[in-house]
């Protein structure tokens, strides 16, 4: 009896441990509004969702979909999954690239073709993401810091279902492969270094001290000081501090300078304010800008007698990254021109990638790098 109970407890403990080590899968939209889709591979299995019919294709096979016909499905309020394709080898070919996991094909959100979604292990996903978001030639400790930050961001998207909640319908994917979320590659983009960095941080994410996962942001170069999310975007996100970064100045894009005619600049500002419903575009205003500093997250000025404040991130979003490479800049008006001088590249929130590179070159570990840029978060292994 005692031996039986011991055996049961042993099996239950093993089951709990096995469940705890299950690696999450992530669904990534890798293609949007495609007119024709062809997926190929070896020993394919195709599931047609509307009919719920499954078919196996031995040997080499290409499965094609004419998505132009899906444009007739007008009036759809949410995407409809059409098919899922898997391979017994674990690899599929699409758009001249090879992908691990399975591929889902569904009607596009704009009803203008098909979207392609790759479902795979989050760890396999990271091995192809690292060389896209950070050079695989960088020090391993920087790559490991990047792996943790990217895993945290992705895991938050999975758990929170943020994309679906934001869209207002079930999107069937957790994030997309783009600069909007994170850029990942395909099977052959993974390198020895990115695989190693992923394995050596397996299952590690950043959490708040109540063990809640929060999105971990990162950017190319902060230019001396990182920013909080609320300084750049509208929302406050718990767990962020603005920290000094004396590391990134040796690397990446150097300080930058732009000159825009004052009249044109004022027109941009006025148009942004009009879209925010704080002013009208019809009237021609006189602008008086107050003294600015790179440390200010907003510009302050008078439009005639009206005091205004406008986030620099809004200006960057409206004017584009070429005109304003970062949110870390200051304004100075001279000879009817607005002189914009700045440093860094990217939104400036979270981990500075070039700063992480320099810290790694100085011998600091990925844990030290993450602790510097995310002082209010802790490293936790969740699987």
Q: Check residue 2 and give its pLDDT.
A: 46
pLDDT in tens, 119-139: 999 999 999 999 999 999 999
Using pLDDT thresholds of 50, 70 and 90, give the confidence band for residue 72.
low
Q: Check residue 253 and give its pLDDT.
A: 81
Q: Is the pLDDT of residue 188 over 60?
A: yes
Structural tokens at position 364: 């600091």
Which pTM was predicted?
0.89
Any idea which of 109-118, 146-155, 282-291, 342-351 has the lowest mean pLDDT?
282-291
pLDDT in tens, 332-363: 999 999 999 999 999 999 999 999 999 999 99
pLDDT in tens, 98-109: 999 999 999 998
Question: Looking at residues 325-335, what average pLDDT do you find?
Answer: 94
What is the chain's mean pLDDT, rounded?
A: 91
Question: Looking at residues 22-26, what average pLDDT do you find?
Answer: 96
More confident call, 75 vs 44: 44
Q: What are the contacts of 323-330 at 24+ separation with CB within 8 A?
A: 323/258, 323/260, 324/258, 325/253, 325/256, 326/221, 326/222, 326/223, 326/256, 327/227, 327/231, 327/232, 327/297, 328/222, 328/223, 328/224, 328/225, 328/227, 328/294, 329/294, 330/292, 330/293, 330/294, 330/296
Using pLDDT thresholds of 50, 70 and 90, give the confidence band for residue 7.
very low
Structural tokens at position 148: 């943790």
Question: Looking at residues 283-293, what average pLDDT do you find?
Answer: 90
Share of the chain above pLDDT 70, in %: 91
Q: Compute the Cα dihedral for 11, 14, 16, 19 and give only its sign.
A: negative
Question: Looking at residues 88-94, what average pLDDT do you find?
Answer: 96
Structural tokens at position 291: 């003294």
Instruction: Tell me how crowded residue 234 is: count the other CB atoms within 10 A of its CB.
Output: 9
**CA-CA distance, 149 to 95, in Å (whole number)?**
28
- What residue ranges do the domains of the chain occupy? 25-192, 203-251+347-381, 256-342
């Amino acid at each position: 009896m005692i031996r039986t109970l011991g055996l049961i407890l042993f099996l239950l403990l093993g089951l709990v441990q096995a469940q705890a080590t299950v690696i999450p899968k992530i669904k990534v939209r890798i293609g949007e509004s495609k007119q024709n889709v062809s997926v190929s591979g070896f020993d394919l299995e195709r599931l047609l969702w509307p009919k719920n019919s499954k078919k196996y294709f031995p040997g080499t096979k290409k499965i094609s979909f004419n998505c132009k016909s899906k444009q007739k499905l007008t009036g759809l309020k949410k995407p409809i999954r059409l098919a899922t394709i898997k391979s017994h080898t674990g690899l599929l070919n699409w758009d001249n690239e090879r992908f691990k996991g399975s591929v889902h094909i569904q009607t596009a959100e704009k009803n203008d073709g098909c979207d392609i979604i790759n479902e795979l292990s989050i760890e396999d996903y990271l091995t192809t993401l690292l060389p896209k978001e950070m050079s695989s030639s960088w020090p391993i400790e920087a790559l490991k810091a990047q792996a943790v930050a990217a895993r945290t961001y992705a895991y938050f998207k999975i758990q929170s279902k943020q994309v679906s909640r934001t869209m207002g319908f079930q999107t069937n994917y957790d994030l997309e492969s783009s600069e909007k979320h994170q850029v990942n590659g395909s099977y052959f983009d993974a390198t020895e270094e990115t695989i190693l960095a992923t394995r050596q941080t397996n299952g590690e994410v950043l959490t708040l001290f109540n063990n809640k996962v929060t999105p971990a942001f990162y950017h190319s170069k902060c230019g001396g000081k990182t920013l909080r999310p609320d300084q750049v975007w509208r929302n406050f996100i718990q767990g962020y501090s603005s920290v000094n970064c004396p590391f990134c100045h040796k690397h990446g894009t150097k300080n930058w300078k732009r000159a825009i005619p004052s009249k044109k600049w004022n027109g941009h500002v006025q148009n942004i304010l009009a879209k925010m419903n704080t002013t009208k575009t019809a009237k021609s205003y006189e602008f008086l800008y107050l003294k600015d500093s790179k440390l200010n997250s907003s510009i302050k000025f008078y439009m005639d007698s009206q005091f205004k404040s406008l986030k620099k991130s809004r200006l960057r979003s409206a004017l584009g990254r070429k005109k304003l490479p970062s949110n870390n800049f200051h304004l100075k008006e001279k000879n009817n021109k607005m002189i914009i001088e700045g440093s860094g590249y990217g939104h400036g929130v979270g981990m500075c990638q070039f700063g992480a590179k320099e810290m790694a070159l100085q011998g600091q570990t990925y844990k030290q790098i993450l602790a510097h840029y995310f002082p209010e978060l802790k490293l936790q292994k969740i699987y």
